[in-house]
Amino acid sequence: MIIKSFEFKKIDIKKYNFYLFYGENEGLKKELIDTNFKKLFENRVYDYEENSILNNEKEFFDTILTKSFFDSEKLIIVSGVTNKIFNIVEQILEKKVNDVFIILIADKLEKKTKLRNTFEKEKNLICIPFYTDNFQSLLYIAKDFFKKINIPVSQEILNVLVDRANGDRKSLKNEISKIENFCRGKNKIDLDQISKLSNLNGKNNMSELVDVCLAKNDKKLLKIINENNFSKEDTILIIRIFLSKAKRLQNLNQEIQFNPNIDNVINSYKPPIFWKDKDLVKQQISNYSKENIKTLLEKITKTELLIKKNYNSSINILLDFVINQGKRFNN
């Protein structure tokens, strides 16, 4: 059964034992699980990765089927889910286990897969798509935060916070948490204070790295790489920034088909493109055709999967992608 993420609060969690969460919005998935499930099950939560289950099915089934006097109900969270786990899920469904609640967390999951298809059709299973937050939904989160702590802020501050989050709800909330601690006992905050408090400068470097790469300014690109010590933890965020900006490029390309005046298209684009980024964006538009953008999106997806599978080599994988993509004659 399909439900929207914002409808989740309407359902009785313990009425359903099986949940499938899929989509790119990792921040919203985490928020929903932390707020609704982990508080309910407290220390009775077991975390698994799909690969570990596939490699040791017996241990997984033992965890599910073994009953304990102290563990009357348990929550099992399985991350990195693909259609490969379907046969195991099918076996669990047949056993009709009532005291175990299972959340399957997937990234992208095609509609044609047996796993997604089953969860969408069956009334006793919950399937929730988690789509990427847009500028307006993140702006609402930021506005709501400052309203709750009763501190007035300019639209510029809100725009900067949301823009630098690069479509990542989790990233935005991390920055908001730092600001909240700083604001205790205060009645105002300015952009300089927020820049020093948060990781905006670091994220700005990541955002600039992506913009310069897509503009194919290879000299500046190498300069940014050499001046910044990006970590393994940064790699997924950077690749998500690539995805966000590639999708923006795709939208701009589509709009230009109807309005060939590039300046007008850039100036009227929503969410607004900051004035200092407009020349870079214009260069990006001239570098990428419709087909080039399609290829770029495919490369980004493959690179993200490669990083997740080879985390220890994630920096080298990312830099190979960035340098190759930033070459002037390589789309």
Architecture of domain 135-198: Orthogonal Bundle (1.10)
pLDDT digits (tens, 9 = 90+) for 16-74: 999 999 988 888 898 899 888 988 887 788 899 999 899 999 888 888 877 655 557 88
Q: Which fold has domain 5-129?
A: Rossmann fold (3.40.50)
How far apart, in whole angstroms, are the C-alpha atoms of residue 188 and residue 153?
8
What is the residue extent of each domain of the chain?
A: 5-129, 135-198, 202-326
pLDDT digits (tens, 9 = 90+) for 90-141: 999 988 778 889 999 998 888 899 999 999 999 999 999 998 777 888 888 8
pLDDT digits (tens, 9 = 90+) for 206-228: 888 999 999 999 889 998 888 87
Q: What is the CATH number of domain 202-326?
A: 1.20.272.10
Average pLDDT over residues 229-242: 85
How far apart, in whole angstroms, are the C-alpha atoms of residue 84 and residue 77?
16
* Global model pTM greater than 0.85: no
